[in-house]
Amino acid sequence: MARLKNVEELKKLRNEAQKDLSVRTQTGTRIIIGMGTCGIAAGAREVMHAVLKELESRKIEAHVETVGCVGMCAQEPLVDIEQAGKSRVRYANITPENVPRLIEEHLIKGQVIQEWAIGRLDARKIQ
């Protein structure tokens, strides 16, 4: 494998990424996906994939993170969305097909999808 080429590519990537990093940390949107045994078995990895692709195609600035089981196994896949200054909303039983609507309504229009949401957590209390 052309290792040297990869190192050069990474350096280029670093320079490109550095330019928009400050903007990104200010926006502070996090999408958190449960990746415990229960989440994995329910299709969380495919949901993660769908979220990443949707963000990429719509050019939305957000950090995607995976976490272990939070104990709500029957409701997996769980997807939490947290935006700076707003409360964190937890969505349950999310499938890859749900992801475009989730991103469109919650992130772009700023509306919580009531029929999928199962809870709201105070953003300041979770770290």
Partner 1 sequence: MRELSLHILDVLENGVEAGASRVAATIEEDSEADTMRIEIADNGRGIPKEMIDKVTDPFYTTRKTRHVGLGLPLFAAAARRCEGDLVIQSELGKGTRVIATFRASHIDRAPLGDIPSALLAILLSGRPVDIEYSHRVDKEEFRFDSSEIRRELGDIPLTHPKVWSWLLQFLQEGEASLHAEVSEKQRAAVT
Binding site for partner 1 (CB under 8 A): 1, 6-7, 9-11, 13-14, 16-18, 21, 24, 32, 35-38, 40-41, 44-46, 48-49, 52, 55-56, 61, 63-71, 73
The smaller minimum CB distance to partner 1, of residues 71 and 109, is found at 71
DSSP SS3 for 69: coil
Phi, psi of 116 (to 5 degrees): -105, -25
What single-letter amino acid sits at 49? H
Pick the closer one to partner 1 by CB: 61 or 105: 61
Min CB(60)–partner 1 separation in Å: 9
Beta carbons within 10 angstroms of residue 84's beta carbon: 11
**Cβ atoms within 10 Å of 98's Cβ, excluding its own:** 17
Q: How far is the CB of 112 from partner 1 (least distance, A)?
A: 22
CB of 115 to partner 1, least distance (A): 25
User: Cα–Cα–Cα angle for 61, 67, 69, nearest 5°?
Assistant: 145
